[in-house]
């Protein structure tokens, strides 16, 4: 271990709450798909935050907007009208091709989900005049760490020691439409799900299951909420994950890549459901501040101008083919290669920590989730050569196993 790394690690242990299991890597700068350590280490970043820096690290155009806007206006209260918010809202809503017409801005994925949950509840109670009810979520979901979203997440490991869990959620097993249908009662108000579960190891819904979830929502009069925090912003090969399944949710939440690394989140919905919020129903101090939304608008502009959804679909497909070829070459090592666009899970047939560490030693940063899944969420601008180099490093490690 380098001395600079050890110094940083020891200092952090004294100063920060121990909430994060860190990788043995310190980062001091980045550019595009590269990250650099304090002792001159260079890494190919296949993680992008966790699906955050979709336009690459320290993108020049984004840096320019940050500098200009920082000299013009950074923040005023949401008591004031701000055109930056409106420009961003227009551009962001435009990516839904008319499905959504209203936005609420906040600061993170969990907060975007809180807004989705709150508007679903308030719309049901105050507009539809129904009593308070439950939202159904799916097993292995990940919706965030606030008390509400961690209850929606429903996984014991994230709830441990935080009792009492917030009420209002019921969880059903992922992938079984029959069990979902059976779980709906007159007390159910909505279904909330990820169309590709990210933290659970990049697990895409089948088309049939996705269609069934939407059908059940429509037939039973439930709001259909899709958590696009990880799948959104061109990650999965279309602007939004739900578009890859041709779905029409009533509400989506988004964050992560929305401002390429600055804390921005959004909840998008239609005119009807937006009636659930009135002045005073919901708010946040920093939500949609001028600096953040100026950056957000530029992100949408670049994604559309550079056709990054299409690139994500094409390069993702190409990368999956490379990994499939490795799976064929070394039978019994890779159990499955899954995902959509540049949201890729390489599922190993054995605990993958050693391979993950080997990749890190060779200078490739990816994420290990569920013990066996190498999760890749590279910048949508990543050069194909970087993915090819990663494939060759993986090939080498599996050959020597």
Ligand X SMILES: Cc1ncc(COP(=O)(O)O)c(C=O)c1O
Q: In this chain, which of 69, 171, 230, 254 binds ligand X, going by CB under 6 A?
A: 230
45 binds ligand X (CB under 6 A): no
Q: Which is nearer to ligand X, 37 or 168 (CB)?
A: 168
Site string for ligand X, 162-201 (x = CB under 6 A): --------------------------------x---xx--
Within 10 A of 283 (CB to CB), how many other CB atoms are there?
Answer: 13
Q: Which is nearer to ligand X, 133 or 144 (CB)?
A: 144
CB of 227 to ligand X, least distance (A): 5
| Binding of residue 255 to ligand X (CB under 6 A) | yes
Residue selected from 108, 124, 171, 322 as contacting ligand X according to rule CB under 6 A: 108
Q: Does 110 bind ligand X (CB under 6 A)?
A: yes
Q: State the binding string over 195-214 for ligand X (x if CB under 6 A, else -).
A: ---xx---------------
Q: Kindly tell me which residue out of 109, 148, 201, 287 binds ligand X, with binding defined by CB under 6 A.
A: 109
When asked if residue 143 is in the footprint of ligand X (CB under 6 A), the reply is yes
Q: Which stretch binds ligand X (CB under 6 A): 26-34, 36-44, 224-232, 377-385?
A: 224-232
How many residues touch ligand X under the rule CB under 6 A: the total is 15
Q: Is residue 229 a contact residue for ligand X (CB under 6 A)?
A: yes
Task: Tell me: does residue 386 bind ligand X (CB under 6 A).
Answer: no
Does residue 137 touch ligand X according to CB under 6 A?
A: no
Indicate if the alpha-carbon torsion angle 365, 152, 98, 206 is positive or negative.
positive
Question: Which residues pair with residue 374 across a beta bridge?
Answer: 346, 368
Candidates 45, 84, 114, 227; binder of ligand X (CB under 6 A) is: 227
Q: Residue 242, interface with ligand X (CB under 6 A)?
A: no
Cα dihedral 323/327/328/329 (nearest 10): 90
Report the first-to-last Cα separation within the chain, whole angstroms. 25
* Spatial separation of the C-alpha atoms in residues 173 and 157, rounded to whole Å: 17
86 binds ligand X (CB under 6 A): no
- Looking at the DSSP bridge assignments, the partners of residue 204 are 196
Please name every residue paired with 196 in a beta bridge, in sequence order, or none if there are none: 204
Which range of residues in 22-30, 104-112, 118-126, 335-343 is near ligand X by CB under 6 A?
Answer: 104-112
144 binds ligand X (CB under 6 A): yes
> Rounded CA gap, 20 and 221, in Å?
40
Beta strands at 42-45 and 364-365: parallel, antiparallel or unpaired: parallel
Cβ nearer to ligand X, comparing 45 with 194: 194
Among 4, 8, 50, 166, binds ligand X (CB under 6 A): 50
Site for ligand X in 297-326 (CB under 6 A): none
Closer CB to ligand X, 265 or 358, in the complex: 265
At its nearest, how many Å lie between ligand X and the CB of residue 154? 13
| Residue 130 Cα distances to 120, 134, 189, 190, angstroms | 12, 12, 9, 13
Q: Which stretch binds ligand X (CB under 6 A): 3-11, 136-144, 241-249, 316-324?
A: 136-144
**262: which strand partners?**
260
3-state DSSP assignment of residue 373? strand
Go through 238-266 and write b for each residue having 16 or more CB atoms within 10 A of its CB, e for each that does not.
bbbbbbbbebebbbbbbbbbbbbbbbbbb
**Minimal distance, residue 132 CB to ligand X, in Å:** 23
53 contributes a contact to ligand X by CB under 6 A: no
Token code pair at residue 275: 């009636």
Instruction: Calculate the CA 212 to chain-centre distance.
Output: 23
For residue 343, count other CB atoms closer than 10 A to its CB: 24
With contact defined as beta carbons under 8 Å apart, do 134 and 278 qualify? no
Neighbours of 335 (CB within 10 A): 14
Is 32 a binder of ligand X (CB under 6 A)?
no
- The DSSP code for 257 is G
Omega before 46 within 30 of 0, i.e. cis: no
* Contact (CB, 8 A) for 364 and 393: yes
For residue 165, the minimal CB distance to ligand X (Å) is 17
Closest distance between ligand X and the C-beta of residue 255, in Å? Answer: 5
User: Which spans of this chain sit near ligand X (rule: CB under 6 A)?
Assistant: 50, 108-110, 113, 142-144, 194, 198-199, 227, 229-230, 255
């Amino acid at each position: 271990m380098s001395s600079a790394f050890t110094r940083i690690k020891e200092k952090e242990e004294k100063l920060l709450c121990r909430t994060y299991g860190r990788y043995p890597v310190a980062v001091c700068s980045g550019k595009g798909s590269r990250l650099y350590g304090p002792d001159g280490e260079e890494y190919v970043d296949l993680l992008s935050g966790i699906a955050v820096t979709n336009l690459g690290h320290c993108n020049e155009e984004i840096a320019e907007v940050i500098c200009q806007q920082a000299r013009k206006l950074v923040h005023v209260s949401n008591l004031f009208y701000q055109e930056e918010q409106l420009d961003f809202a227009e551009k962001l809503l435009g990516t839904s091709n008319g499905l959504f017409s209203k936005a609420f801005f906040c600061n993170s994925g969990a907060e975007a989900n809180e807004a989705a949950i709150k508007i679903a509840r308030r719309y049901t109670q105050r507009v539809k005049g129904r009593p308070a009810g439950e939202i159904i979520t799916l097993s292995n979901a990940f919706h965030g760490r606030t008390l509400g979203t961690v209850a929606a997440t429903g996984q014991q490991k994230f709830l441990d020691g935080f009792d009492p869990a917030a009420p209002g959620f019921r969880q059903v097993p992922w992938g079984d439409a029959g069990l979902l249908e059976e779980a709906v009662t007159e007390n159910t108000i909505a279904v909330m799900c990820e169309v590709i579960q990210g933290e659970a190891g990049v697990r895409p819904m089948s088309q049939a299951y996705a269609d069934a979830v939407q059908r059940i929502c429509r037939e039973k009069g439930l709001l259909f909420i899709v958590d696009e925090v990880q799948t959104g912003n061109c990650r999965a090969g279309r602007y939004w994950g739900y578009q890859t399944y041709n779905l029409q949710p009533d509400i989506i939440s988004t964050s992560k890549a929305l401002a390429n690394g600055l804390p921005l989140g959004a909840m998008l919905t239609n005119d009807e459901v937006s009636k659930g919020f009135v002045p005073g129903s919901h708010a946040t101090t920093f939500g949609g501040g001028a600096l953040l939304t100026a950056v957000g608008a530029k992100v949408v502009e670049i994604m559309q101008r550079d056709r990054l959804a299409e690139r994500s679909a094409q390069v993702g497909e190409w990368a999956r083919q490379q990994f499939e070829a490795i799976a064929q070459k070394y039978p019994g090592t890779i159990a499955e290669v899954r995902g959509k666009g540049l949201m890729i899970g390489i599922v190993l047939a054995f605990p993958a920590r050693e391979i993950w560490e080997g990749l890190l030693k060779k200078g490739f940063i990816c994420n290990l989730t569920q013990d066996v899944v190498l999760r890749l969420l590279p910048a949508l601008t990543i050069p194909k050569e970087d993915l090819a180099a990663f494939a060759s490093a993986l090939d080498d490690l599996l050959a020597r196993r």
